[in-house]
Structure 1
């Protein structure tokens, strides 16, 4: 009997062990994946601390994120991210990348890819390629290196209907513009952008902008704006913020202020007042956000920076025609002189792009001395050589830091030729303002370069590391992720990005671009029926 009990006991023990093993197998979920990322310092785009998570990618989606001990993952490729940061791909809310995406040889978008950017917003500053349907087809057939979120430009629509005239829109012209905005929203625009500082957008009044913003709002879009005045050119910076708030309030549309700044000596140290204005509007229930690039120099055309808008009304050669008229020449020169002073002086305006290579890398004061004429007179002679682009050193650290600390301000590049921000904004912000200056921490930087931007532009299933979300994922080395582009050579790719996945496919592997075009034009989230 004793032996039988022992046998029974042993038999029972065996049965128990098998049963436990079978139960464990049932609990151990098996996941098939294309890529497994393990051992990384994971920031999911929303959490305030890093996570120790394993991430699995299958096709274009994230199929698992969490503790690797709870699942068995069978993957074709395993990436050991020990010591590296794993993050959602960055979303750049303000670029001019469409100028590169439109051309096959530059459609890879490498200046943005190497910053960790996987999605770019295009059509900013009121300037979009028209019609959108044509360019969506081009991007699809040709292939693009990053995802694209398109906006419809107010200035583009205005020029289609009214040319570059400085008159106010008639009711009939306004209806035509509303029709074109609707057409572009139907084609997939995520919202409308304005460049109210630039011609022809500068010729519009607030009522015109509100009317067009309402059309965008009715289609679930947002309002993205380059303010009418970031300095003291016309209505002033604070009045321009008020106008933006008014547009958001009356059009009932989310508002996003592009490249928020205090530009020039007249408006330095206004950032705290602006923050208070915006937060008061947010308390009303208005959705107001902004983006910022991490540099103390802005960039724009020399004409846009210093020439009065009335002098360029009518088209390309209008300025030079008016300059030859003795009745307007003196007024043009006086206003150019005042605008140079507003920017901080001729020595603060650095030429970064010009048909005359002698001008590149010199400031306006140096060029005026070379031409043996006053800086405001030299401007006209410089502009006669063709389009000229400048970097304008006109911001203070105090204002830059104040805006950067706000939870409603996200990272943007305003990436454009000649300024290092096109090649370096996101790595520069991490290296300079997170790692060195410690103005914000790593989680704040990542969250406001990913999920917050996706939320602002209503981009579905991107900007977070979450099961079911698209696998736009980057892996970078926190010790070497930095910008290399500067004002002497603005065309150097950033370094420190190790891997990049766009829509689940490898784009950068071991720091090298693999010549793939994995981006696509994103579809906007349709408004829900009330």
Structure 2
């Protein structure tokens, strides 16, 4: 018998068995992922990197459970979204929204003006104004549901009003101690920090040291200080001094400082962006954490009285302002200061009324109203204010300053969304469409990173703002050809276009451009 003839078949058989065993081992070791949602074929920006990828993204419950290549895993998903030709991004985080006004009303709690922009998380309680106390509104939002996630800041004004009211009164040491106690309670409730509106009454009456006393409580709790500067123009201490004040608060209280909607507002401070950037860069090198947000518009939006009335005349509230404006002993001084404030904003033709109870004034400039009433613009302000709450769009910014701030790596996107201004419906898609796609002021990754992970890091929001395994599944998918703002100053109430999907906490809120009706947002609390 030839042993070689027996050996060869046995040898081949053993090799085949070995190969089968190896294949079986690899087959058994292949990672298997059970997912609720699988996103395929998209151009993925993860929120931190400069380059995109074609990664698969798997979602289970409210978390991202896989990000990677198709060959690495075997994924079984209940729902698959084919994102071919689309951009996949972390959901946008808006650091300045006033969206709490939407959340508190069941009819608007979906927060669609923000959601349709790709926003999945909003910071609320800005400019020193918040719904107080925090716990009350946490319960309300949780019980009735909200469309997007909410991060609460505690408004400085609410603490002031609770202790000393709205008048220009210097607090005693006991008053300061009471304010600190209230601030601690709000931080204990899960607030992420405090906000100030030092331009607005009653915050404008507060000294820097008083603000620092409250900021120190926030610092002890790991919170953030968000501020509308005392002066964005030349109304009181000036823009440069106001930035320096914010830095001083950060330095002494030892906490992060975030400047809301950084700008050079009005003709007196145009082209000061270079100086402001140098001051902030020097503070950052010193070790002070200072950042800012910016909306991509050349018009700000605020109340008419805040825009042009003297702060001292507002002590006690709007009724007190109107009383003084018609007081023979005070009105000339008020008119003179109002006239100068109108000049700072570029003139009466640059102030457009976008919200007013009297339809006669709505949609008109202050110059047109002045001509209608046949009185000077500075006097026309006050009959208009008698009709109730009045908002204006104030066209007061220079494109050079807008571009200069936008290019800084410490500036993120924020809407300051408010009724009557198109930024409430259009900020994020406008920044993409105009400043990324059309004008190439920033690139795609810079836009996305500055609308997601950077904002999450600034406000210490854990596990949001990135497409990363273990992070919460807040993900948007938009069409790069059609993603754009529609709202303008003639009609500020138009939803943005081009958002195909929004996934919030692992659940689909926008599908194929339409709202699903689900309120998937949560109130986030600082731990």
1:354 paired to 2:321: no
Partner of 2:242: 240
Distance in 2 between the 1:108 and 1:37 partners? 24
Report the Cα distance in structure 1 between the residues aligned to 2:404 and 2:386, rounded to whole angstroms.
39
2:432 paired residue number: 430
Corresponding position: 1:418 with 2:412: no
Aligned counterpart for 2:463 among listed residues 461, 464, 467: 461
In structure 2, how many angstroms separate the alpha carbons of the residues matched to 1:56 and 1:420? 35
Name structure 2 gaps, 5 residues minimum: none
Give the superposition deviation at 1:321.
Answer: 1.5
Aligned pair partner of 1:333 in 318, 332, 335: 335
CA positional deviation for 1:13 = 3.0
Q: Any idea what SS the aligned residue of 2:508 has?
A: strand
Matched, 1:262 2:247: no
Name the residue aligned to 2:91: 89
> Matched residues in 1 for 2:135 and 2:235: separation?
36
Shift of 1:6: 2.9
TM-score using structure 1 length: 0.98
1:114-153 paired onto structure 2 within 5 Å: 114-153=116-155
Report the Cα distance in structure 2 between the residues aligned to 1:441 and 1:27, rounded to whole angstroms.
Answer: 41
The Cα of 1:169 is off from its aligned counterpart by 1.5
CA distance in 1: counterparts of 2:15 and 2:490, whole angstroms: 76
- 1:385 aligns with 387
Task: Choose from 364, 371, 375 the match for 2:373.
Answer: 371
> How far 1:120 moved relative to its partner?
0.1
| Separation (CA, whole Å) in 2 of partners of 1:73 and 1:318 | 66
CA shift digits 1:159-199 (9 cap, x unpaired) = 11111111221111111111111111111110010000000
Instruction: Give the aligned partner of residue 225 of structure 1.
Output: 227
* Alignment size in residue pairs: 525
Tell me the distance in 2 between the aligned counterparts of 1:263 and 1:4. Answer: 93
Matches of residues 251-290 of structure 1 in structure 2 within 5 Å?
251-290=253-292
Distance in 1 between residues matched to 2:114 and 2:5, nearest whole Å: 76
Q: TM-score scaled to structure 2, two decimals?
A: 0.99
Residue 74 of structure 1 corresponds to which residue in structure 2?
76
Mapped to 2, the partners of 1:160 and 1:305 lie a distance apart of 25
Partner SS for 1:351:
strand
Choose 318-327 or 203-212, whichever is displaced more: 318-327
Which of 487, 492, 495 aligns to 1:493? It is 495
After TM superposition, give the deviation of residue 370 of structure 1 in Å: 1.2
CA distance in 2, matches of 1:9, 1:406: 68
Residue 29 of structure 2: which of 27, 38, 47 is its match? Answer: 27
**What are the superposed Cα offsets for residues 431-473 of structure 1, whole Å, 9 maximum, x if unpaired?**
0000111000000000010000000000000000110000000
Name 1:345's counterpart in structure 2: 347
Whole-angstrom distance in 1 between the partners of 2:408 and 2:326: 48
Q: Which residue of 2 aligns with 1:528?
A: none
Q: CA deviation at 1:23?
A: 2.1
**Secondary structure of the residue that 1:137 maps to in structure 2?**
helix
Cα distance in 2 for residues equivalent to 1:315 and 1:93 = 28
Q: Name the SS of the counterpart of 1:326 in structure 2.
A: coil
Shift of 1:20: 2.4
Q: Flag structure 1 segments of 5+ consecutive residues without an equivalent.
A: 526-530
Query: Is the partner of 1:339 in helix, strand or coil?
Result: helix
After TM superposition, the structure 1 = structure 2 runs for residues 294-305 of structure 1, keeping only pairs within 5 Å, are 294-305=296-307
Give how far 1:26 is off: 2.7
> 1:266 is paired with a residue of what secondary structure?
coil
Mapped to 1, the partners of 2:200 and 2:13 lie a distance apart of 86
- Aligned to 1:391, the other structure's residue is in SS state strand
Matches within 5 A, 1:4-19: 4-19=6-21
Find out whether 1:166 has 2:168 as its counterpart: yes
* Correspondence for 2:486: 484
SS of the aligned residue for 1:64 comes to strand
- In the alignment, structure 1 residue 102 sits paired with structure 2 residue 101: no
Q: Which residue of 2 aligns with 1:396?
A: 398
- TM superposition shift of 1:367: 1.1
Q: Distance in 1 between matches of 2:393 and 2:435?
A: 21
Q: Deviations over 1:300-356 (max 9, x none)?
A: 000000000111111231012212321111101101111000100000000000001
- How far apart, CA to CA, are the structure 1 residues paired with 2:359 and 2:4? 102
Whether 1:201 aligns to 2:216 is no
1:504-515 equivalent positions in 2, closer than 5 A: 504-515=506-517
Counterpart CA distance in 1 for 2:405 and 2:311 is: 29
CA distance in 1 between partners of 2:73 and 2:57 (Å): 11
Quote the Cα distance in structure 2 between the aligned partners of 1:58 and 1:293.
34
Shift of 1:8: 1.2
